[in-house]
Chain A
Amino acid sequence: MCLAIPGKINSITSEYNGMVRMAKVSFGGITKKASLEMLPDADIGDYVLVHVGVAISKVNEEEAQKTFKYLEEIGELGELEDVNEYLPKPD
């Protein structure tokens, strides 16, 4: 039940008489609504982690590369390795 998955903000509306910023977030093919109250500066196009209807974190693109480069960074992977083949592809 702690599942939280990243999705992309497609649109932002304000609901409940302007009290709450809500986003439409797409997860692959599925779109769900999520509250942006925890992420006041999240914007359209951002990737956010959504848990039970609430966006709780923005994905940091730069940090996202590090899992793919870590082995290289600790110096154990051959220098000829092409890290790029592992990097997240654009949408």
Chain B
Amino acid sequence: MKYMSEYRDPDLARKYLTEIENTVSRPWSIMEVCGGQTHSLVKNGIIEMLPKKITMIHGPGCPVCVTPLHLIDKAIYLATEKKVILCSFGDMLRVPGSKKSLLEAKAEGADIRILYSPLEAVTIAEQHPDKDVVFFAVGFETTAPANALSVLHAHRRGVGNYAILASHVLVPPAIKAVIDDEESQIDGFLAAGHVCTIMGNAAYHPLSSHYKVPIVVTGFEPLDVLQGILMVLRQLEQSTAKVENQYARIVREEGNIEAQKVINEVFEVQDQMWRGIGKIPQSGYAVREKYAAHDAMKKYQVNITEAPENPKCISGQIMKGIKKPFECSQFGKTCKPTNPLGAPMVSSEGACAAYYHFSGMVEA
């Protein structure tokens, strides 16, 4: 397919690897922030092919993985007790809540639906005027325009029985939190290309200059990731630290202004809990008061006590890049994609699932 398959050319990938080999002179740790890049690195075997001096650290970039436990419990409560039609993306359904997952609630009879787009949920609400429809709106900046649009569509079309349960996380504050964490030692970052498609690169310039770290906005195909690594590496070896854009075929410096307008219309920035990591200041979105009628947080008063995480799951350390999945005592034993203990084992973009599926580290 145009603009996809060409970026998987093995010959050019080999040339990139050779160039990386020739450039690296000492050990460096590079974090790919986005789970899609983790998936690409592990699936295509790039991790194993990189020179030993380069350690790839997998970042917190999987929105499904960082959605707080109590929000999953809340979504389940809305579906089972409030009898709403609860819709979300497929990945979200398998994430374990404190007692069960949405998928298990669905098997028990709750009306829970997997959708490709939040816009479809507005149509479902129109078709079922006697029911409330809630879209469990998780995501990074990439997904925020679609989730915000669904609210605007409902507002304009007068669909009063539609609301979103928003769990939105923002990448730049998370990068800052990772750099500030004393346990993590990261020399350079591959920033998430699709996030920047929306927000542009503005937030990264102050981060890069303040912390003196190279940040390269990077795509997702194998050649994108390899080129991104080489660009970070060249900066590190030359002791420079700036923002570069590997993914310029998609990402404009200023991002997508129309999308930013829609996001700002519907959402405002707030402090946000990240599952496994904790609260990060100014790192999420809440629905603005103007659209409170479409905000499930306000529409349904649900007081669910915060349940503790499974103590055996070390997903927080995994997402901050302090440990690798195979260092978790549960990995591949009690925790598998069919029976995940923690969220990173659920989504294919979660680091644990990526390692489980592709890296051959699990005995059959």
Partner-B contacts on A (CB < 8 A): 1-6, 8, 16, 19-20, 27-28, 32, 35, 37-40, 47, 49, 51-54, 56-57, 59-61, 63-64, 66-68, 70-71, 74, 76-77, 86-91
Contact = CB atoms under 8 A, between A and B. Distances in A.
Nearest to A32: B116
Residue with the highest number of chain B CB atoms closer than 10 Å, among A37, A38, A70: A38
Nearest to A8: B2
B121 to A, nearest CB: 10
A53 B87 CA distance: 15
Interface stretch (B97-105, B249-257, B275-283, B301-309): B249-257
Contacts of A32: 116
15 contacts: A1-B138, A1-B143, A6-B2, A16-B156, A49-B197, A52-B89, A54-B149, A59-B249, A59-B250, A60-B248, A60-B249, A67-B249, A70-B227, A71-B19, A89-B6
B157 A27 contact: no
Given A1-B63, A39-B256, 18 more contacts: A1-B349, A2-B63, A2-B139, A2-B192, A6-B2, A6-B4, A38-B262, A47-B2, A49-B194, A51-B142, A53-B116, A57-B252, A60-B248, A60-B249, A64-B3, A64-B249, A67-B224, A88-B2
Interface residues of B, number: 61
B159 to A, nearest CB: 11
B1 interface: yes
A66 B259 contact: no
A68 B16 CA distance: 10
A15 B127 CA distance: 16
B314 interface: no
Contact of A2 (B12, B16, B194, B259): B194
B35 interface: yes
B267 interface: no
Contacts of A54: 117, 119, 145-146, 149
A78 to B, nearest CB: 10
B3 A6 contact: yes
Contact of B197 (A16, A57, A64, A71): A57
Contacts, number: 141
B166 interface: no
B119 to A, nearest CB: 5
B268 interface: no
Contacts of B349: 1-2
Contacts of B250: 6, 49, 57, 59-60
Contact of B2 (A56, A71, A86, A91): A91
B319 interface: no
Contacts of B35: 2
Given A39-B258, A54-B119, A66-B248, A86 B9 contact: yes
Contact of A20 (B153, B192, B234): B153
